[in-house]
Structure 1
Amino acid sequence: MLIKTEGFVLKNKKYGETDSMLTIFTRKIGKINAIAKGARKPKSTFLAGIQPFCYSDFVFYKGKSSLYNLSQCDAREIFYCIREDLDALTYGAYLLELVEAVTNEGQTNNRLFNLLGKTLSMLANKDQKDFELQTVVRAFEVNLLAYSGFKPHVHSCVNCNQSNFKQIKFSHEEGGILCPKCFTVDPFASKISETTVRLANYLLNKDILEIQKLKVNEALNNELKLILKKYIMVHINKYQFKSLDMLDKL
């Protein structure tokens, strides 16, 4: 059975002497693992479209095993500029790791697929005037969580649904903000400012293309970054991202 679909290459690993094992986030059949036979040969027709970040049209066939076999690959966008810039490469690798972590094999997610495409395009053109890299990454994180079923509850108290209060804490375990009356629900809840909560809500309600020039105070961005980092670790159950070590050094 032949399957035609577009997709983003999340990972490319050596498989045997001349083959590659690919992890691809496709529009039609979700995340899959596929073997690209002969892809490591110098004259392989697959080379251009199977590197990480590549957005390509794929044709797969599937036999009796659970693995797909790549039959044809035509690159639409290779995002070469991402590979030429250290910041873009590192943050781009982080986005791919996040997508791989939250997606289940064979389960489609068109909103996340479109979000990844828009964000990679922005990273590839990040040298444009007034582009705010950190704002874009925070927006990607919070919307990835929302599109994957882990949307943080930031419009009212996650425990009692009250919304009129000044002091706020964020409970990673409960999945959202707590009002003073509910602080005892999670004694390990983190302090969070009202402004950071408003920022999270704003990013959740805007298309990522609309916020790429949004300037956010560094301290505010860092507070949301730390909140989301722990939230991602708790709810995605992934505690180590290879790219995060590099991100912390940038």
Structure 2
Amino acid sequence: MLVKTEGFVLKSKKYGESDSLLIIFTRKLGKINAIAKGAKRPKSSLIAGVQPFCYSDFLLYKGKSLYTVSQCEPKEIFYKLREDVKKLSYAAYLVELVEATVNEGQTNNRLFNLLGKTLHLLTQSDIEMNTIIRSFEMNYLNYCGFRPELYQCVSCGKKESSNWRFSSQEGGVLCNLCFNQDPYAMKISDITLRLAKYLQSRDIVEIQKLKISDSLNENLKRILKHYILVHINKYDFKSIELADKL
């Protein structure tokens, strides 16, 4: 059976002498494993469209355990990402998040579109990098079914509180009367909470030039990092650690 679909190459590794083993996030089939035969040969017609991050049109043949890439036409190779180590590291982080969450054969059009928008934004020069990454994380959580509750206490439903804490385990904010529900809940300031709500409700393209102070970014990053680690059960994002050091 042949299937035509667009997709992003999440991972590519050498397989045998000249083949590539790919993990592709496709629009029609979700995440799949596929082999691109001969893709490592210098004159292969597949070579341009099967590199990591590439957005390509694929013609796929479904085998017993793997898809085979019959044809591949690159639509966007995001070359500029490869010219900037920091941007490349952030792009690798986005791809790691997607790969860790999407199951094989599970489609997610909103996440697919979000990944495409964000990779495109990362190639631009006049963006706020921190804003883009925090926005991706907030929307990523929305589209993967892990949307944190930010508007009312996750324990009692109270919408007003003298101060709030954020509980990764409980899935959102706790009011001052419910702090005992999670003794490890993290302090979250009113301004950090307002920023999280704003990013949660806005399309990433709308806020690409929004300036976030370093301290505010660090506060929200710390909270989101812990929340993501708890809910997707992945504890080593080497790409984001590298990007943050650059």
- TM-score with structure 2 length normalisation? 0.98
Aligned position for 2:72: 73
Q: Is the 8 A contact 1:166 1:194 kept in 2?
A: no
What one-letter code is carried by the residue in structure 1 that aligns with 2:9? V
Identical columns (%) = 63
Query: Which whole-Å deviations, capped at 9, do the CAs of 1:22-43 have from their partners, x for residues lacking one?
Result: 0010000101010011111111
Which of residues 223, 242, 245 is equivalent to 2:241? 245
Which of residues 174, 191, 214 is equivalent to 1:195? 191
Aligned position for 1:41: 41
Q: Is the 8 A contact 2:87 2:243 kept in 1?
A: no
Query: Which whole-Å deviations, capped at 9, do the CAs of 1:203-231 have from their partners, x for residues lacking one?
Result: 11111000001111211111000000011
Which of residues 210, 230, 233 is equivalent to 1:234? 230
Query: Which whole-Å deviations, capped at 9, do the CAs of 1:97-143 have from their partners, x for residues lacking one?
Result: 11111111100000000000100110011x13xx2110010000111
Supply the RMSD in Å over aligned alpha carbons: 0.8
Which of residues 174, 194, 209 is equivalent to 2:170? 174
Deviant stretches of 4+, over 3 Å: none
Q: Is the 8 A contact 2:57 2:73 kept in 1?
A: yes
What one-letter code is carried by the residue in structure 1 that aligns with 2:179? F
Instruction: Report the Cα distance in structure 2 between the residues aligned to 1:142 and 1:238, rounded to whole angstroms.
Output: 17
Instruction: Report the Cα distance in structure 1 between the residues aligned to 2:3 and 2:193, rounded to whole angstroms.
Output: 43
Pairwise CA distance, 1:14: 0.8
Is the counterpart of residue 4 in structure 1 residue 8 in structure 2?
no
Pairwise CA distance, 1:247: 2.1
Is the counterpart of residue 136 in structure 1 residue 132 in structure 2?
yes
Q: Which structure 1 segments of 5+ residues have no match?
A: none
Instruction: Report the Cα distance in structure 2 between the residues aligned to 1:75 and 1:36, rounded to whole angstroms.
Output: 14
Pairwise CA distance, 1:2: 0.2
What one-letter code is carried by the residue in structure 1 that aligns with 2:239? S
What one-letter code is carried by the residue in structure 2 that aligns with 1:220? L
Q: Is the 8 A contact 1:18 1:41 kept in 2?
A: yes
Instruction: Report the Cα distance in structure 2 between the residues aligned to 1:218 and 1:245, rounded to whole angstroms.
Output: 17
Pairwise CA distance, 1:166: 2.3
Aligned position for 2:57: 57
Instruction: Report the Cα distance in structure 1 between the residues aligned to 2:151 and 2:139, rounded to whole angstroms.
Output: 15
Instruction: Report the Cα distance in structure 1 between the residues aligned to 2:189 and 2:103, rounded to whole angstroms.
Output: 34
Instruction: Report the Cα distance in structure 2 between the residues aligned to 1:246 and 1:232, rounded to whole angstroms.
Output: 18
Which of residues 137, 144, 149 is equivalent to 2:145? 149
What SS does structure 2 have at the residue aligned with 1:70?
strand
- TM-score with structure 1 length normalisation? 0.97
What SS does structure 1 have at the residue aligned with 2:178?
helix
What one-letter code is carried by the residue in structure 2 that aligns with 1:12? S
Instruction: Report the Cα distance in structure 1 between the residues aligned to 2:166 and 2:16, rounded to whole angstroms.
Output: 47
Q: Is the 8 A contact 1:9 1:23 kept in 2?
A: yes
Instruction: Report the Cα distance in structure 1 between the residues aligned to 2:71 and 2:78, rounded to whole angstroms.
Output: 20
Instruction: Report the Cα distance in structure 2 between the residues aligned to 1:151 and 1:214, rounded to whole angstroms.
Output: 22
Instruction: Report the Cα distance in structure 1 between the residues aligned to 2:202 and 2:237, rounded to whole angstroms.
Output: 27
